[in-house]
């Protein structure tokens, strides 16, 4: 089985996800909870979670013996990662099916990316 990351992307604080009413937000949370239960029951779940807003981030950059820590995300962009799932799937097609359901549940774009194969031990 290959592991994939399904990542939820937002287009910034103007994203539709941040324009929802409290009722719509609760409906989205409930839909994500149902999706989480389904993917766990199928045995594809490894782990996942939502992330705080980008302004809570600290970027750490170590280079040539110096460490620089800056508040906020490194990227100069409005787009940001809102959450993710790590799943196991037989192949990309299976991962894409999970991502489609995740996109419906969270009402946003979901990127699918496989993990790199680990080098053989020894």
CA 94, 96, 101 angle in degrees (round to 5)? 100
pLDDT at 50 over 80: yes
Please report the pLDDT score of residue 59 as a whole number.
82
For the chain, the structural domain boundaries read 2-56+76-114
69 DSSP β-pair partners? 60
Distance of CA 82 to the CA centre of its chain: 6
pLDDT at 76: 67
> pLDDT digits over 51-83, tens only?
888 888 888 889 999 998 888 766 666 778 888
**Of 27 and 17, more confident:** 27
Q: In this structure, are residues 83 and 51 in contact, taking their beta carbons and an 8 Å threshold? A: yes
Architecture of domain 2-56+76-114: 2-Layer Sandwich (3.30)
Residue keyed to tokens 């937002």: 10
């Amino acid at each position: 089985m290959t592991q994939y990351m399904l990542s939820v992307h937002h287009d910034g604080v103007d994203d539709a996800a941040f324009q929802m009413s409290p009722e719509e937000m609760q409906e989205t949370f409930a839909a994500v909870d149902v999706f989480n239960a389904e993917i766990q029951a199928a045995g594809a779940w490894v782990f996942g979670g939502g992330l705080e807003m980008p302004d809570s981030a600290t970027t750490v950059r170590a280079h040539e013996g110096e460490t620089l820590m800056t508040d906020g995300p490194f990227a100069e962009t409005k787009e940001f990662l809102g959450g993710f799932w790590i799943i196991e799937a037989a192949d990309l097609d299976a991962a894409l099916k999970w991502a489609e359901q995740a996109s419906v549940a969270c009402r946003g774009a979901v990127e699918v990316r496989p993990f790199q194969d680990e080098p053989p031990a020894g």
